[in-house]
Amino acid sequence: MSDERSLSYMMAFNEAVRQSMRADETIFCAGEDIGAFGGVFGTYGGLQKEFGARRVVDTPISEQAIVGLGVGSAVTGLRPIVDLMFMDFICVAMDQIVNQAAKLKYMFGGKATLPLTITTAGGAGLSAAAQHSQSLEAILCHIPGLKVVYPSNPYDMKGLMVSCIRDDNPTVMVKHKRLLGISGPVPEDLYTVPLGQANMLRPGKDVTVVAWGRMANESMVAAEILAGEGIDCEVIDPRTLQPFDTATVVESARKTNRVIVVHEAVRFGGLGAEIASQVQEEAFDFLDAPVARIGAPFSPVPFSPALEKHYVPDAKSIASGIRGVLGRKSPGR
């Protein structure tokens, strides 16, 4: 029996923040309802009780003000963690994120540091409807100056969050709402997972599957389904979406000769297109098939649970897409 400690995705985030705040008095948190309430999903639970209202600050409902507070305090010597309750709400604060946080170090000729961490909850699966269920990471990754992380498991959640807090550049930590309750091994120590370094979740020889967040876990389930059909999938979780670890994906593509990218965001204009382009630029001669993409249809996220389930890619649809890359038919057809 393993004596590894197990922690939930949510509590791994909480522990990363708590231990970091104990170690560094310049760190503070700010956001809507993160104080006494602990945040809408409980990710900041208990922090205000331990550190007080001056370091865990309940803010007004103003995302632009929240990020502005973070930018100003970061450039003057603090390490703020500011929370935007839902990923959809980054749209309200885009001027502060895109034109201030992302550009400030460049505008000061590299002399300024901006150790700002923005945390938010992304993804569908809770019937939260079109304005509270989006996956907008591609927008953030398009902005020079931002780093974007999207963990798929509790171990990476804690390690990546600590790395975000310690980084001297603005980072965005995306937590998937449907993963908050999953559990896995998480060390008690304050450790880091390097930004910009992908993780191979499963080695394989027939096809490379690139997926992050909830889709990384769905891809692992799909890989197990396909293993029973004699298909050996290599599953890579980028963990950090910006900067993206192209080298690991290209190395895998040169081995398996086939690549499929899976993301929850709408397929059109998603990160899958960028990753596919990078693979074909660096590994074209090794590919036995075009790089494939799986994503959501070009539609707002439905509120209806039945429609939402159909809208979001899952292990079954991922397995079908992988068979297509390999030129295989689904069983029973």
191 is a domain residue: no
Residue-wise pLDDT for 248-265, tens only, equals: 999 999 999 999 999 999
174 and 71 inside one domain: yes
301 is a domain residue: yes
Mean pLDDT of 288-311: 97
Distance, CA of 60 to CA of 186 (rounded, Å): 34
pLDDT for the residue numbered 1: 37
62 and 128 inside one domain: yes
Residue 271 has pLDDT above 80, yes or no: yes
Residue 199 has pLDDT above 80, yes or no: yes
167 and 251 inside one domain: no
17 and 162 inside one domain: yes
Residue-range definition of the domain harbouring residue 16:
6-185
Distance, CA of 297 to CA of 265 (rounded, Å): 9
175 is a domain residue: yes
pLDDT for the residue numbered 3: 63
Domain count across the chain = 2
Residue 333 has pLDDT above 70, yes or no: no
Distance, CA of 218 to CA of 103 (rounded, Å): 36
The mean of the pLDDT values for the chain is 96
145 and 263 inside one domain: no
Distance, CA of 137 to CA of 150 (rounded, Å): 9
217 is a domain residue: yes
pLDDT for the residue numbered 72: 97
Mean pLDDT of 285-305: 97
190 is a domain residue: no
In sequence order, the 6+-apart residues with CB closer than 8 A to the CB of 86 are 120, 121, 122, 128, 131, 132
How is residue 178 written in tokens? 């449907």
164 and 204 inside one domain: no
192 is a domain residue: no
Residue 54 has pLDDT above 80, yes or no: yes
Q: Report the catalytic residues.
A: 132
Q: Of 128, 150, 185, which closes a domain? A: 185
Residue 312 has pLDDT above 60, yes or no: yes
223 and 161 inside one domain: no
17 and 147 inside one domain: yes
Mean pLDDT of 161-183: 98
Identify whether 243 is preceded by a cis peptide bond (ω within 30 of 0): yes
User: Is the four-CA dihedral 40, 118, 92, 126 of positive or negative sign?
Assistant: negative
225 is a domain residue: yes
74 and 220 inside one domain: no
Residue 182: HSE in the Cβ half-sphere, 13 Å Cα cutoff: 16
Are 301 and 167 in contact, with CB atoms under 8 Å apart? no
Q: Of 151, 185, 219, which closes a domain? A: 185
Are 231 and 323 in contact, with CB atoms under 8 Å apart? yes
In sequence order, the 6+-apart residues with CB closer than 8 A to the CB of 323 are 226, 231, 329, 330
CA angle at 175 for the pair 246 and 74, rounded to the nearest 5°: 85
Residue 4 has pLDDT above 90, yes or no: no
Beta strand 171-176 pairing with 207-211:
unpaired
Residue-wise pLDDT for 59-77, tens only, equals: 999 999 999 999 999 999 9
Closest among 190, 192, 318, 193 to 262, alpha carbons compared: 318
290 and 258 inside one domain: yes
CA angle at 19 for the pair 113 and 47, rounded to the nearest 5°: 95
Distance, CA of 25 to CA of 50 (rounded, Å): 13
Q: Of 131, 156, 185, which closes a domain? A: 185
Mean pLDDT of 177-194: 97
22 and 170 inside one domain: yes
Distance, CA of 295 to CA of 137 (rounded, Å): 13
Residue 103 has pLDDT above 60, yes or no: yes
pLDDT for the residue numbered 332: 57
Beta strand 117-122 pairing with 171-176:
parallel
120 and 161 inside one domain: yes
57 is a domain residue: yes
How is residue 73 written in tokens? 């305090």
Distance, CA of 111 to CA of 107 (rounded, Å): 9
CATH for 284: 3.40.50.920
CATH for 26: 3.40.50.970
